[in-house]
Amino acid sequence: MFTVSGSDVVLLDASDSIDNHVSNFDSRDNRFLVDSSFNQTLKMEEIEKLKSSGLCGHDLLEAFAKHSASFDSKTKFSQDKYLAKKRKRHLMYFSIQPASSRFLCEMYGKIVFTTFFNVFTKLLNLRRTITCCLSHLLCADPYLLMLNN
Protein backbone atom coordinates (compact mmCIF):
# COMPACT_ATOMS: atom_id res chain seq x y z
CA MET A 1 0.00 0.00 0.00
CA PHE A 2 1.06 3.56 -0.66
CA THR A 3 0.14 6.85 0.98
CA VAL A 4 0.67 10.48 0.08
CA SER A 5 3.07 12.54 2.18
CA GLY A 6 3.11 16.12 0.94
CA SER A 7 3.95 15.85 -2.74
CA ASP A 8 5.64 12.44 -2.39
CA VAL A 9 4.23 8.92 -2.64
CA VAL A 10 5.46 6.71 0.20
CA LEU A 11 5.40 2.91 0.40
CA LEU A 12 3.94 1.76 3.74
CA ASP A 13 5.52 -0.94 5.87
CA ALA A 14 3.30 -3.40 7.69
CA SER A 15 4.78 -2.21 10.99
CA ASP A 16 4.33 1.50 10.17
CA SER A 17 1.03 2.04 11.90
CA ILE A 18 -0.28 4.31 14.61
CA ASP A 19 -1.90 1.21 16.13
CA ASN A 20 1.52 0.07 17.33
CA HIS A 21 1.90 3.24 19.39
CA VAL A 22 -1.40 3.03 21.28
CA SER A 23 -0.81 1.68 24.75
CA ASN A 24 -3.01 -1.04 26.20
CA PHE A 25 -4.82 -0.21 29.46
CA ASP A 26 -7.24 -2.81 30.82
CA SER A 27 -8.57 -0.82 33.77
CA ARG A 28 -10.45 1.80 31.75
CA ASP A 29 -13.98 1.81 30.40
CA ASN A 30 -16.08 4.25 28.41
CA ARG A 31 -19.05 4.69 30.70
CA PHE A 32 -18.15 8.26 31.69
CA LEU A 33 -17.23 9.48 28.20
CA VAL A 34 -19.49 12.09 26.68
CA ASP A 35 -19.55 12.42 22.91
CA SER A 36 -19.14 16.10 22.21
CA SER A 37 -17.76 18.16 19.35
CA PHE A 38 -15.64 20.03 21.91
CA ASN A 39 -13.51 16.91 22.58
CA GLN A 40 -11.47 17.55 19.42
CA THR A 41 -9.66 20.87 19.66
CA LEU A 42 -8.33 20.80 16.08
CA LYS A 43 -10.57 22.79 13.77
CA MET A 44 -11.13 21.90 10.12
CA GLU A 45 -9.04 24.87 8.96
CA GLU A 46 -6.11 23.67 11.09
CA ILE A 47 -6.48 20.13 9.72
CA GLU A 48 -6.42 21.41 6.15
CA LYS A 49 -3.36 23.53 6.98
CA LEU A 50 -1.58 20.46 8.39
CA LYS A 51 -2.46 18.45 5.28
CA SER A 52 -1.30 21.18 2.90
CA SER A 53 1.96 21.64 4.82
CA GLY A 54 2.99 18.11 3.81
CA LEU A 55 2.44 16.35 7.13
CA CYS A 56 2.45 12.59 6.63
CA GLY A 57 -0.54 10.47 7.61
CA HIS A 58 1.06 8.94 10.70
CA ASP A 59 1.86 12.38 12.13
CA LEU A 60 -1.64 13.63 11.31
CA LEU A 61 -3.18 10.74 13.27
CA GLU A 62 -0.88 11.50 16.20
CA ALA A 63 -2.05 15.13 16.05
CA PHE A 64 -5.68 13.95 16.21
CA ALA A 65 -4.91 11.80 19.23
CA LYS A 66 -2.93 14.56 20.95
CA HIS A 67 -5.64 17.20 20.45
CA SER A 68 -8.50 14.96 21.58
CA ALA A 69 -9.64 15.64 25.13
CA SER A 70 -11.08 12.15 25.59
CA PHE A 71 -8.53 9.99 23.72
CA ASP A 72 -6.43 9.05 26.76
CA SER A 73 -9.46 7.99 28.80
CA LYS A 74 -10.79 5.63 26.09
CA THR A 75 -10.21 1.89 26.04
CA LYS A 76 -7.77 0.42 23.53
CA PHE A 77 -10.66 -0.80 21.37
CA SER A 78 -12.21 2.69 21.34
CA GLN A 79 -8.86 4.28 20.54
CA ASP A 80 -8.38 1.90 17.61
CA LYS A 81 -11.91 2.61 16.42
CA TYR A 82 -11.34 6.38 16.68
CA LEU A 83 -8.06 6.18 14.75
CA ALA A 84 -9.62 3.95 12.08
CA LYS A 85 -12.42 6.49 11.60
CA LYS A 86 -9.95 9.37 11.30
CA ARG A 87 -7.73 7.32 8.98
CA LYS A 88 -10.68 6.57 6.69
CA ARG A 89 -11.81 10.20 6.63
CA HIS A 90 -8.53 12.10 6.31
CA LEU A 91 -5.91 9.79 4.77
CA MET A 92 -5.64 8.52 1.23
CA TYR A 93 -4.37 5.02 0.51
CA PHE A 94 -4.02 3.50 -2.92
CA SER A 95 -2.38 0.58 -4.65
CA ILE A 96 -0.93 0.41 -8.14
CA GLN A 97 -2.14 -2.47 -10.28
CA PRO A 98 -1.38 -3.39 -13.89
CA ALA A 99 -4.24 -2.64 -16.25
CA SER A 100 -6.03 -5.87 -17.11
CA SER A 101 -9.10 -6.20 -19.30
CA ARG A 102 -11.34 -6.95 -16.33
CA PHE A 103 -10.00 -3.99 -14.39
CA LEU A 104 -10.37 -1.59 -17.33
CA CYS A 105 -13.96 -2.69 -17.99
CA GLU A 106 -14.80 -2.33 -14.32
CA MET A 107 -13.26 1.14 -14.07
CA TYR A 108 -14.86 2.31 -17.32
CA GLY A 109 -18.24 1.14 -16.09
CA LYS A 110 -17.83 2.86 -12.74
CA ILE A 111 -16.62 6.13 -14.21
CA VAL A 112 -18.99 6.52 -17.16
CA PHE A 113 -22.20 4.78 -16.25
CA THR A 114 -22.30 5.44 -12.54
CA THR A 115 -21.67 9.13 -13.11
CA PHE A 116 -24.41 9.68 -15.66
CA PHE A 117 -27.08 7.10 -14.90
CA ASN A 118 -26.39 6.13 -11.25
CA VAL A 119 -26.78 2.52 -12.39
CA PHE A 120 -24.21 0.15 -13.81
CA THR A 121 -25.65 -0.70 -17.22
CA LYS A 122 -24.24 -2.78 -20.03
CA LEU A 123 -21.22 -1.57 -21.95
CA LEU A 124 -22.15 -1.46 -25.67
CA ASN A 125 -25.10 -3.72 -24.76
CA LEU A 126 -22.66 -6.35 -23.51
CA ARG A 127 -22.20 -7.51 -19.97
CA ARG A 128 -18.90 -6.84 -18.26
CA THR A 129 -17.94 -10.53 -18.34
CA ILE A 130 -18.48 -10.75 -22.11
CA THR A 131 -16.46 -7.57 -22.68
CA CYS A 132 -13.62 -9.04 -20.62
CA CYS A 133 -13.78 -12.31 -22.57
CA LEU A 134 -13.61 -10.43 -25.87
CA SER A 135 -10.60 -8.41 -24.78
CA HIS A 136 -8.98 -11.63 -23.55
CA LEU A 137 -9.54 -13.27 -26.94
CA LEU A 138 -7.91 -10.22 -28.54
CA CYS A 139 -4.88 -10.86 -26.30
CA ALA A 140 -5.14 -7.32 -24.94
CA ASP A 141 -2.55 -7.70 -22.20
CA PRO A 142 -1.47 -4.80 -19.95
CA TYR A 143 1.94 -4.41 -21.60
CA LEU A 144 0.94 -5.14 -25.21
CA LEU A 145 1.45 -2.47 -27.87
CA MET A 146 -1.29 -2.62 -30.51
CA LEU A 147 -1.06 -1.07 -33.97
CA ASN A 148 -3.90 0.95 -35.49
CA ASN A 149 -4.64 0.94 -39.21
- Say what angle helices 44-52 and 57-66 make with each other, to 10 degrees: 150
Alpha carbon 58 to chain centroid distance?
14
Q: Is 73 in contact with 102 (CB distance < 8 Å)?
A: no
Number of helices (H), then strands (E), in the chain:
6, 3
pLDDT level of residue 4 (50, 70, 90 thresholds): confident
pLDDT, tens digit (0-9, with 9 covering 90-100), for 6-15: 777 777 776 5
Top pLDDT among 79 and 94 is at: 79
pLDDT, tens digit (0-9, with 9 covering 90-100), for 82-135: 899 988 888 877 777 777 766 766 666 665 554 455 444 555 666 667 777 777
Q: In degrees rounded to 5, what are phi and psi of residue 139?
A: 60, 40
Give the residue among 42, 30, 106, 107 at the shortest CA–CA distance from 68: 42
Listed by start position, the domains of the chain span: 2-94, 101-137
Give Cα separations from 138 to 32, 101, 134, 141 (angstroms). 64, 10, 6, 9
Top pLDDT among 37 and 20 is at: 37
